[in-house]
Structure 1
Amino acid sequence: MSRRVVITGIGVRAPGGRGTKEFWDLLSSGRTATRTISYFDASPFRSRVAGECDFDPELEGLSPRQIRRMDRASQFAVVCAREAVEDSGLDLAATDPHRIGVSLGSAVAAATSLEREYLVLSDSGRRWLVDQDYLSPHMFDYLIPSVMPAEVAWTVGAEGPVTMVSDGCTSGLDAVSYASDLIREGTLDVALTGAADTPITPIVVACFDAIKATTTHNDEPEQASRPFDGTRNGFVLAEGAAMFVVEEYEHARRRGAHVYAEITGYATRCNAYHMTGLKRDGREMAEAIRSALDDSRVDPTVVDYVNAHGSGTQQNDRHETAAFKRSLGDHAYRVPVSSIKSMVGHSLGAIGSIEIAACALAIEHGVVPPTANLRTPDPECDLDYVPITAREQRLDTVLSVGSGFGGFQSAMVLRSVGAAA
């Protein structure tokens, strides 16, 4: 029998607040944190709104050396890992370091620092032959994504498996699943896991502009992210991170740890169809959902809430609606569904972990976060998308899904410990 895996610590940095409590306050109140891009002059771009984090690394306790060495995404990951460990009450010194691992997800890793350094080396793109005399000594750290989980491992003293997962927008879900598998199979007792991405840079904004994936609702930045709304026209790019302490259940119980939720099932699929396109029938996501529910050994009718990918693109929201109907049957019309991207935007590889945090906190507080900005119902998206206002409801079983460019479709089931026992 495989071992049980539970979440005992959460650390979040997301738009609209600093820390997990402010993150949950934002979601439960239905407020939005998207705004006009302030990090650079976005006036030449098609989409000029984003979910920016008010993140000060010095106030977060990072040293000047750490700030110089680490990319912004790595800084997010380390700060969130510290918060998760503190929240869990875990005594790292009393835990065998070979039984602690790290699994971290990211889509674009150190894009912020890579772009900054290129601009310095090339004199803002004016020089084809760059001047290596201006090369940062930390350039290697920016180029190699595995540096991010290594930074977290050094922070917590983890000497078990340390892994980077980078498969686009499902990275945050997939990284947590990998950590859970290592605990289930007996390799680890504890893992620091989650994801971080800080993609609000000119080159990333330009990439999504080119394929018209991001919104043009620039005049109303707070209302720009509109998942499942009839007026939606693309997602809002964002940054953020979420990290967790996940433990083997008996390990957590013996030390009297508070448990937010148990991770009971997961599955992933690929549509092998198109880099950015999605089939309208939602078959691959539906298959991932069915497999995750089977892994959890639960019937679709016990799902109390679905945390949707809900990016706010026309095709994604239709695709998801079809997938929920295909996998949950008639229950799809009864279960509440919502997208927190309406409030914090889409932080690419990080969002899957940020949404896991939202699901665990939803179980903890008995509240379904709303889909903000959902004012004009789309006839093709005809499920209960919890518009505008949060809803109090007991939640024992929650499904979270992710969809990523490349055709990746992932699903995870979280349950309250009492329900999963």
Structure 2
Amino acid sequence: MGGINPAGRTSGHQAFRRTVLDALPADQQRQTLEGLAALMRLAEHSDHGWQDSTGQPIDSPASLLREQVLDHTLIRRNEDPRFQAPGLPANRRAELALAEPVRVTLRRKQLPEQLPEGWEVRELDAREVEVTLPAGMLEVLLPDTQEPKVKAAAQLPSGFDPASLYRSVHHPRGLAMAIFGASDCLGASGLDWETLRQQLNPDHIAVYAGNSIGQLDDEGWGGLLKSLVSGQRATSKQMPLGYGQMPADFLNAYVLGSVGGTGAALGACASFLYNLRLGIDDIRAGRRRVVMVGTADAPITPEIIEGFRAMGALADDASLKALDAVTLLTDADYQRACRPFARNCGFTMAEASQFVLLMDDTLALTLGADILGAVPDVFVNADGYKRSISAPGIGNYITLGKAAALVRNMLGETALKERTYLHAHGTSTPKNRTTESHVFDEIARANGIEQWPVVAIKAFIGHSQGSAAGDQLASALGSFAHGLLPGIPTLDAVADDVYAERLRFFTTPQAFSADAAFINAKGFGGNNATGVVLSPQVTEQLLLQRHGSAAVEAWKAKRETVRAQAAAYLSEADKGHYAPRYQFGEAVLEGPELDIRADRIHIPGYHQAVSLNVDNPFGSLNGEGQS
């Protein structure tokens, strides 16, 4: 797994550790803080030890920079300069009443293509003209700035810029995050990608990656859509780079060089789970053996935030003040903006990129892959008829009910009741706290569960839209590795309208040995999904049952080498040394290089050919094909 979110890097469980920091042993706390300081460019490690951002040696970055790291990760006051004084750039419509004609001087290229009625233009020179505006009403847009109504955000750790780590040329932020996230995933796997892909039929690899909204910053569709009204010129990159499936396209073209299956399923807040489901289905059907699954969302833009604020979904400043009965919000107040299952007023916008590498079990054993867990299935159901498209409905009862039934069938009733927990969608809206808790409580009741632990990590890292379930999955894998469930630190008290009879909420990290976790998503529009993720220990038991002890012991022996390679990558990453895999213009192929036969196509650079012998379940009308 790999990626980045407001808590830090996904690999090595760095981001997870940030959410349970105070419960970790001292050495792991130090390692986490040092790694975050390096990520944030506050410090870097070389052969001469640690240096600060000015190159001066420092003895203990974990203690020296601790407060700075803590204050500039997770949810906090939005640090984007556009959200600072004097305010968000804007325009205000106005009508100027001109009592008499007015003369102005303009550059020739600034003249409208279609001159308004009554304008008189006189050339001054090759570059400038004089325009006489007639008396009367003149409609104009006056430059303005607006005080941001929403100042809380869950941005990537301060100082971290994924685009600065590779040869990015006007890439939307989400795509730069995808490059980093996928590269982090490959590095942390301990596997050499080129060696791996040479062992496979090229068609046995797939990439399913996207996001929920597309790239809507200025380098993508955001800049394109406002180009005419803002007077800016649209670029040749904005249209293609804005597509929602572009993270998959970027990985195929510049990271993996894959010619296998590709695409993205967009489903609002459930998008990561939708893509995960595509990968699972492909592997279970035998179509693919390796699938990279992920999302990359960068929705912290003025326009997107205003859109969600207008629909009443965000924790805006006015609502936070009313909630806490204060007149001024401090930095500490913004850090507590997201309060799942407590008295709350809306979610906090976040950005994140999350990727996981899926394999079939036989290949994972053969390679000695370090197996972090297993995902047997993802269940998806719609809400049916509803009053409002953004309102919750009944689909989540079905998805979680199916997921619970699967765990009961696989692991037994005792495991379901005592060794599972819920990774809630937990957005921090009043509607979510009521409806999602009712889903949880009713499914718990149906299965005889009395105290079902609930984790809600958006309290730390906000709502990254399509990547939210990826954040939850990464956190679940961290819980398996460390035996800790993150608490909900902003939960002063469970709200009165939360259904909590059979649920267990807690504010601080809890020790818990889990066999499985339920990754829940309740997306806008009725995009409900629940994924089941099994612990590494349970996964190993299933592998032993299916493949036998000899195969499992051989896998463990190979795994030592893979783990050593992964550890080497993580050690460099913790020191602030990153080298994202970005192979622009390398090994580019076109049709003439292919060796095309009736039954196969051989692609230069791949040891194995693509088989053209496809399954035909439909029968044949061709007499030659009948016996």
Q: How high is the TM-score relative to the length of structure 2?
A: 0.60
Question: Are 1:34 and 1:344, in contact at CA under 8 Å, matched by a contact in 2?
Answer: yes
Work out the CA distance in 1 between the residues paired with 2:505 and 2:404. 23
- C-alpha spacing 1:119/1:401, structure 2 compared with 1 (3 Å): closer
* Paired position in structure 1 for 2:530: 411
Question: Are 1:12 and 1:23, in contact at CA under 8 Å, matched by a contact in 2?
Answer: no
Question: Are 1:260 and 1:361, in contact at CA under 8 Å, matched by a contact in 2?
Answer: no
Work out the CA distance in 2 between the residues paired with 1:115 and 1:141. 9
Letter in 2 for 1:413: V
Work out the CA distance in 2 between the residues paired with 1:290 and 1:116. 39
Letter in 2 for 1:269: N
Work out the CA distance in 2 between the residues paired with 1:376 and 1:417. 34
Work out the CA distance in 1 between the residues paired with 2:227 and 2:495. 48
1:168-189 deviation per Cα after TM superposition (whole angstroms, max 9, x unaligned): 0100111112111111111111
- C-alpha spacing 1:325/1:14, structure 2 compared with 1 (3 Å): same
3-state SS of paired residue (1:336) = strand
Work out the CA distance in 1 between the residues paired with 2:522 and 2:226. 35
* Paired position in structure 1 for 2:125: none
Q: Which residue among 137, 160, 167 is the counterpart of 2:236?
A: 137
Q: CA deviation at 1:270?
A: 0.9
Matches within 5 A, 1:345-360: 345-360=462-477
Q: Which residue among 398, 404, 420 is the counterpart of 1:293?
A: 404
Task: Give the number of aligned pairs.
Answer: 397
- C-alpha spacing 1:105/1:115, structure 2 compared with 1 (3 Å): closer
1:243 aligns with 2:355: yes
Work out the CA distance in 1 between the residues paired with 2:433 and 2:238. 39
* Paired position in structure 2 for 1:267: 379
Matches within 5 A, 1:354-373: 354-373=471-490
Matches within 5 A, 1:102-121: 102-112=207-217, 113-114=219-220, 117-118=223-224, 121=227
- C-alpha spacing 1:117/1:89, structure 2 compared with 1 (3 Å): same
Matches within 5 A, 1:33-48: 33-39=74-80, 40-41=82-83, 44-48=147-151
Question: Are 2:16 and 2:474, in contact at CA under 8 Å, matched by a contact in 1?
Answer: no
3-state SS of paired residue (1:414) = strand
Q: CA deviation at 1:116?
A: 5.2
Q: Which residue among 308, 315, 334 is the counterpart of 2:431?
A: 315
Q: Which residue among 153, 159, 166 is the counterpart of 2:266?
A: 166
Q: CA deviation at 1:205?
A: 0.6
Work out the CA distance in 1 between the residues paired with 2:360 and 2:489. 36
Q: Which runs of 5+ in 1 are unaligned?
A: 1-9
Work out the CA distance in 2 between the residues paired with 1:150 and 1:115. 16
Work out the CA distance in 2 between the residues paired with 1:385 and 1:210. 33
Matches within 5 A, 1:70-149: 70-94=171-195, 95=197, 96=200, 97-112=202-217, 113-114=219-220, 117-118=223-224, 121-122=227-228, 125-127=229-231, 134-149=233-248
* Paired position in structure 2 for 1:12: 3
Letter in 1 for 2:3: V
Work out the CA distance in 2 between the residues paired with 1:390 and 1:148. 34
Q: CA deviation at 1:227?
A: 0.3
Q: Which residue among 240, 247, 250 is the counterpart of 1:151?
A: 250
Runs of 4+ in 1 over 6 A off after TM superposition: none
* Paired position in structure 1 for 2:395: 284
Question: Are 1:240 and 1:347, in contact at CA under 8 Å, matched by a contact in 2?
Answer: yes
* Paired position in structure 2 for 1:7: none
- C-alpha spacing 1:178/1:72, structure 2 compared with 1 (3 Å): same
- C-alpha spacing 1:135/1:322, structure 2 compared with 1 (3 Å): same
Work out the CA distance in 2 between the residues paired with 1:295 and 1:102. 26
* Paired position in structure 1 for 2:334: 221
3-state SS of paired residue (1:68) = coil
- C-alpha spacing 1:119/1:146, structure 2 compared with 1 (3 Å): closer
Work out the CA distance in 2 between the residues paired with 1:303 and 1:309. 20
Q: CA deviation at 1:304?
A: 1.5
Work out the CA distance in 1 between the residues paired with 2:171 and 2:279. 23
* Paired position in structure 2 for 1:394: 513
* Paired position in structure 2 for 1:337: 454
Letter in 2 for 1:159: V
Work out the CA distance in 2 between the residues paired with 1:11 and 1:353. 10
Work out the CA distance in 2 between the residues paired with 1:73 and 1:324. 32
1:48-84 deviation per Cα after TM superposition (whole angstroms, max 9, x unaligned): 211011331255x311xxx224311111112111111
- C-alpha spacing 1:119/1:271, structure 2 compared with 1 (3 Å): closer
Letter in 2 for 1:210: A
Letter in 2 for 1:193: V
* RMSD of equivalent CA atoms: 2.1
3-state SS of paired residue (2:264) = strand
* Paired position in structure 1 for 2:285: 185
Work out the CA distance in 2 between the residues paired with 1:250 and 1:364. 23
Work out the CA distance in 2 between the residues paired with 1:385 and 1:239. 28
Q: Which residue among 296, 300, 304 is the counterpart of 2:420?
A: 304
Name which of structure 1's ranges 389-398 and 95-104 shifts more when overlaid on structure 2.
95-104
Letter in 1 for 2:169: R
Question: Are 1:35 and 1:222, in contact at CA under 8 Å, matched by a contact in 2?
Answer: yes
Q: CA deviation at 1:365?
A: 1.7
Work out the CA distance in 2 between the residues paired with 1:223 and 1:332. 31
1:293-324 deviation per Cα after TM superposition (whole angstroms, max 9, x unaligned): 34453444255211000000011111111111
Question: Are 1:310 and 1:341, in contact at CA under 8 Å, matched by a contact in 2?
Answer: yes
Identity score, percent: 21
Q: CA deviation at 1:165?
A: 1.5
Q: CA deviation at 1:206?
A: 0.8
Work out the CA distance in 2 between the residues paired with 1:120 and 1:270. 33
Q: CA deviation at 1:337?
A: 0.4
Q: CA deviation at 1:22?
A: 2.7
Q: Which runs of 5+ in 2 are unaligned?
A: 23-69, 89-145, 322-328, 543-627
**More contact order relative to length (CA 8 Å, sep ≥ 6):** 1
Letter in 2 for 1:227: P
* Paired position in structure 1 for 2:14: 22
* Paired position in structure 2 for 1:62: 166
Question: Are 1:81 and 1:243, in contact at CA under 8 Å, matched by a contact in 2?
Answer: yes
